[in-house]
Chain A
């Protein structure tokens, strides 16, 4: 449980200016699925899962995901961005319990 919210970003080792870069990011999160009681009825509670993922590069929004419980536990998301100059790539996750987790990577061009 203590690992919840750990974010890992994977970028290619070398990025040139103008490249379209594919990024994969992993977040440790339970993504609780719907539970049912013995009679098959859905247990009503506030399920904890990520419902919003947003990606920014140089402080500008690049992409976002709206997600549901149909996304797997410890989800992996992949997306692209166009590398123009060195700077910060950040991914923010927001879950239904109000927690936010952030992962960031420095984009270096070379």
Chain B
């Protein structure tokens, strides 16, 4: 009787360990799967990716013209606090129903999530102007990319020096 009991206990002990081991492995796999899918869904626009991948994904390699003289990108030369960097974009282009500025993208090259924001404008906006406070992880280029209603792309770049990074992620 006593011998048998010890044996059973021994056996269950082994099984429990094995079961726990298996569960652990399954758990890790499940978590990995969730990470991949949920971040892709949650961040349709701003994914954790390098700048080249982001531009390719959003613009599909379409040619971009230099927008100097048309786009005015206002950003500080030196941002003391990367957590709050005021940026504004003004486009000198007509806003008529025939031809208007459709999208303004604000892109920070060095951020882990490079596409900061996309503004969708309509002819009722009157003027293509948007502003936002953005985060910058480190010193680098900030771009404004303008997409017009006919699909033409223009971009300008500004260097911003960041003293204290504001992304953390």
Contacts and interface: CB of A to CB of B under 8 A. Distances in A.
Interface of A: 20-22, 24, 33-36, 42, 44, 46-47, 51, 57, 60-82, 96
B130 A62 contact: no
Interface in B70-97: 83-86, 88
Given A44-B31, A78-B131, A66 B120 contact: yes
B139 to A, nearest CB: 15
B31 to A, nearest CB: 7
Contact of B39 (A24, A44, A67): A44
Interface stretch (B15-23, B106-114, B156-164): B106-114
A76 B86 contact: yes
A74 B134 CA distance: 10
Given A34-B112, A60-B124, 12 more contacts: A33-B168, A42-B169, A44-B31, A44-B34, A62-B124, A63-B119, A63-B121, A65-B132, A68-B43, A68-B115, A69-B135, A70-B113
B117 A78 contact: no
B118 A81 contact: no
Query: Is the contact region of chain A dominated by helix, strand, or loop, or is it mixed?
Result: strand
B127 interface: yes
B133 interface: yes
Contact of B168 (A34, A46, A80): A34
B35 interface: yes
Contact of A70 (B39, B126, B130, B167): B167
A20 B169 contact: no
